[in-house]
Amino acid sequence: MRDPRYDTLFEPQTIGPLTAKNRFFQVPHCNGGGYRDPSAAAEMRGVKAQGGWGVIFTEQCEMHHSSEITPFIELRLWEDKDIPQLRKMSEKMKSHGALAGIQLAYSGINGPNLYSREVPLAPSAMPIRTFTNDPLQARALSKKDIKDLRRWFVNAAKRSQLAGFDLICLYGAHGFGIFQHFLSRATNQRNDEYGGSLENRSRFAREVIADMRDAVGDKMALTLRVSLDETIGELGFSNAEVRDFIEMNKDLPDLWDLAQGTWEDCSGPSRFKEEAAQQNLIRGIRELTDKPIVGVGRFTSPDVMVKQINSGLLDFIGCARPSIADPFLPKKIEEGRPEDIRECIGCNICITGDMTMSLSRCTQNPTFMEEWRKGWHPENMNSKGDSDNVLVVGSGPAGLEAAWALCRRGYNVAIAEARTVIGGRVERERKLPGLSAWGRVADYRQYQLSQRADVEIYLDSKLDAQDILDFGCENVCIATGAAWRADGVSRQHLVPMPISADATIYTPDHLMDGKIPGGKVIVYDDDHYYMGGVLAELLVKNGANVTLITPSAYVSDWTINTLEQAEIHARLVELGVEIVLNRGVTEIKKDQVQSNCIYTGRTHSYECDAVVVVASRLENNSLFSALESRQTEWADNGIKSVKIIGDAEAPGPIAWATYAGHRYARELDTADWGDELPFRREITALALD
């Protein structure tokens, strides 16, 4: 059934004493659950095992209490008590023949130890480097500390074995793991046998791996994850040094796991990074070692994957985000249906779970991290309930996901869309600079729906309440989206702001409709996600002279959580956008805005030809309200239920809309949750004393 061109992806590969059944390698990735939600995390990995991955890793696991990254929620292996929850995970991973891997992390200068309160230890004494600039420093490891640390790694390796894992990945990538801190001249300024030459800086990795081999190496495979470039120039662990290191230590680990650079590089969003963006950094490394190599590159295309293998760049196809968006990616290639792959769009919403210490979500796969909590499976739906058909009004991400999940449950579905194209906001936003990959949200669902006989799509069909009553459907799902407000209401202004009647105001919707102002344009961003920055880019590309004013301390503030804020700022600077931070807009007049310092209130006027107000969105719920007001007519027209979902209910990111659509479909014809909690939850058991 599978295309023979992809056969190579299914060739078994040896890793030390083990054999992986194929080349699909789920590299470690966070999920926001970690030690707090162990069963949710375990079930998520188990679904990947069903999906055909050959190797499946945990997220980073803090291997000793003297180095932990609170407030981020990862795994912990500090004592034997931690073994059962990790065993649960390894068993799920191995349930369909995958190898189970654990990533052991000692975070050095990246671990502030806010929970354990231990003094952080690092190769050299220096400030803790975290997203939050915690005001504390690490002390340098003494020789005795290094001996202790080596022993702690051995203890963690033995516990990993007891927990049922096959592989151990030692974390030395993204600037986060102690192996990188030792390898880099920037973070290792020691003048003993662990510092100075590359030989000396490699010593710690060699010692730990030798110790662990003695302890568990006959049965477990050891992998080392390093970044291909520290990206801080020659002082850092540069790509040239990485090559020297690998050549010098050819056979050190059983597999080289090559991450890209910083986490921001390695998990680069599609707005800034193409698929396989690491190619140039990795080319030639294969010849320096006999050990297999895994690398990442947001791979979703089997053709690109095969190219990575056939051109000798990689032995394993490393995937984090593509395995989240579609845990069944390998299986779909194996079964000869790559067109069914739900491709990652590179939006990095999944990463925001880790960054906000909440369970991760995925825009494309609304079942991610709900496998255990809600029993949602990415490929299987619950069986149909009592009714038979649904009218979905609106074909944005909420409506499309609802329709796709409903027909898989066995309902007949009709979609009515006011426009002549489907996709809702995604269809519009995909045309903005850098966002074309987001169109996959609509493309995937449009293709899947086109394969179904039980779904009708009516374009150019703006429905009103009477149309819906006349339509004669048992269930009505209102997914009519939202519109950007022009009155400035958002965070700074809770009521409409003063805007003169003769001011020239645009909203993001105007720009997406092709009405793009020129001349001197002010973008007032009080939304703080991607839209303000993207529109500033669009305006410059259309010849405008742009000033972006935001009350936040950062451009596109919330994109710190998607790891792209720094790139956005840099891009706008390069495009010549004047960036004004920590200032709001108090009044818009003809040819002028009045701005205020959010700290002092001091005002300043900016001349302009037009203002683009990126504030909040107003839900399109009038159709729902009209139907509600005619509830007495529902029964006569065969209507059993009317529900509003997605942006029409409460605007949010696209991932919130696909989630809402999926939830609607799952819960149709099921009992109301009432006062019950609508998901399973794990709580820490109380200590006995």
Q: What are the residues binding ligand SF4 (CB under 6 A)?
A: 321, 324-325, 344-350, 362-364
**Beta-carbon neighbour count of residue 681 at 10 Å?**
9
The whole-angstrom separation of Cα 284 and Cα 646 is 48
566 near ligand ADP (CB under 6 A): no
Q: Which residues contact 562 (CB under 8 A, 6 or more apart)?
A: 269, 347, 348, 349, 351, 352, 530
Tell me the CA distances in angstroms from 535 to 190, 351, 544, 594, one per residue in order.
48, 23, 11, 21
Least CB distance from residue 273 to ligand ADP, whole Å?
25
Pairing of strands 617-619, 482-484: antiparallel
Which is nearer to ligand ADP, 145 or 667 (by Cβ)?
667
In angstroms, the CA 643 to CA 624 distance is 8
Binds 121, which of ligand SF4, ligand ADP, none (CB < 5 to 8 A, cut-off by type)? none
E runs forming strands in 479-602: 482-484, 505-506, 520-525, 545-549, 578-580, 583-589, 592-597
Residue 434 interacting entry, from ligand ADP, ligand SF4, none, C-beta within 5 to 8 Å by type: none
Burial 150-170 (b: 16+ CB within 10 A, else e): bebbbbbbebbbebbbbbbbb
Count the Cβ atoms, other than its own, within 10 Å of residue 501: 6
Bridge partner list, 391:
414, 476
Nearest Cα to Cα of residue 640 among 390, 291, 268, 318: 390
Q: Give the count of beta carbons closer than 10 Å to the beta carbon of residue 583.
A: 21
**336-365 residues near ligand ADP, rule: CB under 6 A:** none
302 touches ligand ADP (CB under 6 A): no
CA 484 distance to own-chain centroid: 25
Mark residues 47-86: x for contact with ligand ADP by CB under 6 A, - for none: ----------------------------------------
Q: Which does 154 bind (CB under 5 to 8 A by kind): ligand ADP, ligand SF4, none?
A: none
Nearest distance, CB of residue 534 and ligand ADP, angstroms: 16
Chosen from ligand ADP, ligand SF4, none, partner binding at 418 (C-beta under 5 to 8 Å by type): ligand ADP
Q: Considering beta carbons, is residue 414 or 660 the nearer one to ligand SF4?
A: 660
Could you tell me which of 424, 427, 388 has the C-alpha nearest to residue 406? 388
**Partner touching 348 among ligand ADP, ligand SF4, none, CB below 5 to 8 Å by kind:** ligand SF4
The pairing of beta strand 167-172 with beta strand 99-105: parallel
- Residue showing tokens 């997914």: 479
User: Which of ligand ADP, ligand SF4, none does residue 325 bind to, with CB < 5 to 8 Å depending on kind?
Assistant: ligand SF4
Select the residue interacting with ligand ADP from 394, 434, 488, 551 (CB under 6 A). 394
Place of tokens 């503030």: 557
Nearer to ligand SF4, 93 or 325 (CB): 325
The reply to whether 215 sits near ligand ADP by the rule CB under 6 A is: no
Q: Specify the stretch interacting with ligand ADP by CB under 6 A; choose among 64-72, 79-87, 197-205, 416-424.
A: 416-424
Check residue 416 for interaction with ligand ADP (CB under 6 A): yes
Annotate 538-562 with three-state secondary structure: HHHHCCCEEEEECCCCCCCHHHHCC
State the number of binding residues for ligand ADP (CB under 6 A): 26
Close Cβ partners of 453 (under 8 Å, ≥ 6 residues apart): none
- Copy the structure tokens of residue 428: 């519009």
Binding flag, residue 431, ligand ADP (CB under 6 A): no
Single-letter code of the amino acid located at 128: I
Pick what 646 binds: ligand ADP, ligand SF4, none; C-beta below 5 to 8 Å, kind-dependent: ligand ADP
Restricted to residues 395-414, the positions that interact with ligand ADP (CB under 6 A) are: 395-399
Q: Write down the least CB distance from residue 682 to ligand ADP, Å.
A: 31
**Which residue stretch of 58-66, 334-342, 603-611, 641-649 sits at the interface with ligand ADP (rule: CB under 6 A)?**
641-649
Looking at beta carbons only, is 362 or 477 nearer to ligand SF4?
362
Spatial contact of 402 and 649, defined as CB atoms under 8 Å apart = no
Question: Rounded to the nearest whole angstrom, what is the least distance from the CB of residue 340 to ligand SF4 in the complex?
Answer: 16
DSSP SS3 for 144: helix
Query: Which of ligand ADP, ligand SF4, none does residue 175 bind (CB under 5 to 8 Å by kind)?
Result: none
Q: At what angle do helices 654-667 and 397-409 cross, to 10 degrees?
A: 30
Judged by CB, which is closer to ligand SF4: 324, or 400? 324
Stretch in the footprint of ligand ADP (CB under 6 A) among 9-17, 183-191, 345-353, 460-468: 460-468
Q: By CB under 6 A, is residue 102 in contact with ligand ADP?
A: no
**CB nearer to ligand ADP: pick between 109 and 463:** 463
Give min distance, CB of 416 to ligand ADP, in A: 5
Is there binding between residue 101 and ligand ADP (CB under 6 A)?
no
Query: Of 68, 370, 417, 474, which lies in the binding site for ligand ADP, with binding defined by CB under 6 A?
Result: 417
Give yes or no for a contact between 648 and 481, defined as CB atoms under 8 angstroms apart: yes
Contact partner at residue 324 from ligand ADP, ligand SF4, none, CB < 5 to 8 Å by partner kind: ligand SF4
CB of 411 to ligand ADP, least distance (A): 18
* Closest CB to ligand ADP among residues 108, 397: 397
CA distance 324 to 360: 10
Q: Are 282 and 248 in contact (CB under 8 A)?
A: no
Please name the residue that has the structure tokens 């590309």: 541
481 binds, among ligand ADP, ligand SF4, none (CB under 5 to 8 A by kind): ligand ADP
For residue 110, the partner it binds in ligand SF4, ligand ADP, none, with Cβ less than 5 to 8 A by kind, is: none
Q: What's the token pair of residue 362?
A: 């995925």
Strands (E), 117-158: 121-122, 126-127, 137-140
Least distance between ligand ADP and beta carbon 429 (Å): 9
The 3-state DSSP class for residue 248 equals helix
CA angle, corner 320, sides to 317 and 322, nearest 5? 80
Site string for ligand ADP, 466-505 (x = CB under 6 A): -------------xxxx-----------------------
Q: Which of 68, 265, 537, 647 binds ligand ADP (CB under 6 A)?
A: 647
Region near ligand ADP per CB under 6 A, out of 152-160, 347-355, 599-607, 643-651: 643-651
